[in-house]
Amino acid sequence: MEKNWVKIFTSNNYYQAEITKQVLIENEIGAVLLNRQASSHHSFGNIEVYIHQEDFSRAIELMVMNQITL
C-alpha cells in the first residue's frame, strides 16, 4: 500500500466496512478495503478501511454525521 494511507475503520463484518467505504466515496473521499480475514473462516480477522491522510478530518466528521461507530 502507498504511503500516507491511514486506517479509519475496522470491523469483522464485511457489510459494515463496505457501507463505510461507500459513504466516504460518495463524499469524494478515496477509500479502500483491506480484507485481513482468514480465507477459510470469516469469523477470524478484520476488514479495514483506509483513506488518504489528508482526508482524515473530513472522514471523521462524515462518519460521526452518519453515525458510523469508530
10-residue mean pLDDT series, the chain (70 residues) = 87 92 96 84 82 95 80
pTM, two decimals, is 0.84
Cell of residue 1, nine digits? 500500500
Question: Which residue, chain included where needed, has cell 460518495?
Answer: 26
Examine residue 24 and state whether it is found in any structural domain, yes or no: yes
Question: What range defines the domain where residue 24 resides?
Answer: 5-65
What is the model's pLDDT at position 34? 94
What is the model's pLDDT at position 41? 63
For 39-52, how does the pLDDT look when each residue is reduced to its tens digit (9 = 90+)? 666 567 899 999 99
- Give the CATH number of the domain where residue 27 resides: 3.30.70.1530
Kindly report the number of other CB atoms within 10 A of residue 24's CB atom.
Answer: 24
Phi, psi at 6, each rounded to 5°:
-125, 150
Q: How many domains does the chain have?
A: 1
Q: Count H helices, E strands: the chain?
A: 2, 3
Residue pair 63/9 in contact (Cβ under 8 Å)? The answer is: yes
Examine residue 70 and state whether it is found in any structural domain, yes or no: no
